[in-house]
């Protein structure tokens, strides 16, 4: 009877395993569809080199991935060995795919006058997006590193994609070398955590932290190294030295992609790691995050004051904004994983990504004629009088970055401020207020330059309608999220 029961159980398992496998495959359908799109695009490029066809294929691949999301969510949350396909991951998948689509359209306008062989650029963009999606679903060190390296290796080539000029190549080499060092530090940190905990899954780490009191030195050292590696990827102070040079050297659409998709995906993975592994149990870690947050908010804004290059200014601005985001991590730690802090982080990340991409979109549109990029603040002189729509869109983005009311940035900062109050983080909130006050100056300085009645370098040039449309849509989202944020708040709150 026992043998018969065992045989019956084995048959049942044989029958049910394919069903479970199909359910899991359906849950990761966005990753599968995007991977197939990359393979098909590679074949298209091999047989027919046409910039327009490649862009259309890229857009179709991204839209097909969008359409696969409802099918993936229909099977519910799925916990797998390396990935957790849940509403949190799908939320960031929607966000990252939207940014990738906007970046594709901006790249089309930017590259078609600059380079004769642009097709591989879009292949790299899709590969980087795939790495970002893996990060959004990662629940294990292996998938975290896989997504991070797939994203990073694609970015190396995207940053240096133009075959002329020294700045892109210099920027790519700096990013390659420093990113390699950061990855090595990250790997060593995870190795120490594995030695202390015996698990590489985020949830497994959290379960074993309570019983690992004898390995405090390994735990704290490993966590510090992991924080260092991820701090580089997010370019928080003092791991920010690469950021202005890489932003300045990278093509404008790539700089925008790096500032939004890359950093957004890594922060989403960090947020899941921080909560699932229950790293907030360690006061030492919370103190370290607080120090990084204050340093990033103050130093990022102070260094931006001195910049005459728009891309360098936006790079230091991004450092400050991720300092603001770290407040939500500390608040989540103080509140022992409170969902409000996660909601605040998610909303602020959306506001930052949409606003930053809108700013890069306007500068990219102004630089899409094939001549030199409009990188200097002086290049925007008199823009209000000659390109009022683009000047208005850039003004809106800058006001949102400054946190002015009726913009997405204001609601995002209000969310972060509320999380800080709930966690009684008065020092961090003081730094947030001081940093925001400093930031208003250099954002308004650009707006002031655009209002000067002097000749502008973009007079008489044709503005591409597609890039301008992308900038208008992004600016519309900035206003919508600032005036009517409740639907998105409810949407995020239902997930967490």
Residues 113 and 248 in one domain: yes
Chain segment 438-465, per-residue pLDDT in tens = 999 999 999 998 888 765 555 545 667 7
Residues 301 and 441 in one domain: yes
Residues 306 and 441 in one domain: yes
**Own/partner long-range contacts of 50-58 (Cβ < 8 Å, ≥24 apart):** 50/119, 51/108, 51/111, 51/112, 51/118, 51/119, 54/118, 54/119, 54/122, 55/104, 55/105, 55/107, 55/108, 55/122, 57/122, 58/104, 58/122, 58/125, 58/126
Mean pLDDT of the chain: 85
- Please tell me the predicted confidence (pLDDT) of residue 385: 86
In a domain, 236, yes or no: no
Residues pairing with 78 in the sheet: 85
Residues 253 and 342 in one domain: no
Residues 323 and 259 in one domain: no
Residues 135 and 257 in one domain: yes
Residues 263 and 315 in one domain: no
- Please tell me the predicted confidence (pLDDT) of residue 495: 63
Chain segment 354-389, per-residue pLDDT in tens = 999 999 999 988 887 666 677 788 888 888 888 889
- Please tell me the predicted confidence (pLDDT) of residue 2: 41
Residues 170 and 287 in one domain: no
In a domain, 2, yes or no: no
Give the end of a domain, one of 231, 256, 273: 273
Chain segment 273-317, per-residue pLDDT in tens = 888 887 777 788 888 899 999 999 999 999 999 888 999 999 999
pTM above 0.85, yes or no: yes
Q: Using 50, 70 and 90 to split pLDDT, how confident is the model at 5? A: very low
In a domain, 19, yes or no: no
In a domain, 485, yes or no: yes
Q: Is the pLDDT of residue 496 over 70?
A: no
Q: How many domains does the chain have?
A: 2
In a domain, 201, yes or no: no
Residues 260 and 325 in one domain: no
Q: Which domain holds residue 437?
A: 282-496
Residues 101 and 146 in one domain: yes
Mean local confidence (pLDDT), 235-242: 88
8 Å CB contact between 333 and 218: no
Q: Is the pLDDT of residue 50 over 70?
A: yes
Q: Which residues of 318-352 are buried (b: 16+ CB within 10 A; e: fewer)?
A: bbbbbbbbbbbbbbbbbbebbebbbbbbbbbbbbb
């Amino acid at each position: 009877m026992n043998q018969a029961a065992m045989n019956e159980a084995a048959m049942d398992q044989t029958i049910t395993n394919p069903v479970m496998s199909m359910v899991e495959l359906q849950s990761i359908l966005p990753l599968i569809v995007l991977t197939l799109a990359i393979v098909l695009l590679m074949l298209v490029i091999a047989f027919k080199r046409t910039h327009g066809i490649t862009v259309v294929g890229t857009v179709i691949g991204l839209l097909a991935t969008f359409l696969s999301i409802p099918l993936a969510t229909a099977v519910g949350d799925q916990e797998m060995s390396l990935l957790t396909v849940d509403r949190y991951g799908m939320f960031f998948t929607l966000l990252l795919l939207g940014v990738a689509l906007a970046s594709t359209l901006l790249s089309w306008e930017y590259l078609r006058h600059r380079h004769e062989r642009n097709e591989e650029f879009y292949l790299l963009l899709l590969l980087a997006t795939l790495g970002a999606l893996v990060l959004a679903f990662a629940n294990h060190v292996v998938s975290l590193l896989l997504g991070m390296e797939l994203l990073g290796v694609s970015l190396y080539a995207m940053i240096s994609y133009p075959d002329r000029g020294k700045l892109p190549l210099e920027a790519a080499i700096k990013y390659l070398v420093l990113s390699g060092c950061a990855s090595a530090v990250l790997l060593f940190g995870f190795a120490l955590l594995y030695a202390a905990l015996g698990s590489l899954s985020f949830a497994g780490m959290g379960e074993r932290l309570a019983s690992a009191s004898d390995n405090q030195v390994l735990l704290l050292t490993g966590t510090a190294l992991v924080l260092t590696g991820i701090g580089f990827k997010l370019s928080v102070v003092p791991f920010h030295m690469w950021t202005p040079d890489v932003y300045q050297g990278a093509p404008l659409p790539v700089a925008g992609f790096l500032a939004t998709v890359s950093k957004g995906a890594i922060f989403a993975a960090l947020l899941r790691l921080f909560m699932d592994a229950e790293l907030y149990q360690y006061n030492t870690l919370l103190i370290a995050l607080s120090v990084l947050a204050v340093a990033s908010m103050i130093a990022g804004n102070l260094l931006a004051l001195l910049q005459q290059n728009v891309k360098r200014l936006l790079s230091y601005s991004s450092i400050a904004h991720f300092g603001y985001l770290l407040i939500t991590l500390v608040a989540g730690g103080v509140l022992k994983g409170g969902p409000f802090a996660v909601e605040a982080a998610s909303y602020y990340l959306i506001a930052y990504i949409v606003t930053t991409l809108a700013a890069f979109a306007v500068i990219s549109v102004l630089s899409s004629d094939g001549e030199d990029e409009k990188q200097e603040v002086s290049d925007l002189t008199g823009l209000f009088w000659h390109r009022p729509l683009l000047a208005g869109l850039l003004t809106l983005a800058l006001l949102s970055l400054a946190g002015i009311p009726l913009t997405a940035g204001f609601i995002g900062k209000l969310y972060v401020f509320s999380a800080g109050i709930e966690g009684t983080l008065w020092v961090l909130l003081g730094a947030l207020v001081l940093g925001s006050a400093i930031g208003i100056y250099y954002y308004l300085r650009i707006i002031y330059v655009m209002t000067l009645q002097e000749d502008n370098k973009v007079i008489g040039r044709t503005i591409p309608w597609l890039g301008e449309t992308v900038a208008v849509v992004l600016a519309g989202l900035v206003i919508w999220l600032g005036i009517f944020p409740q639907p998105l708040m409810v949407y995020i709150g239902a997930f967490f």
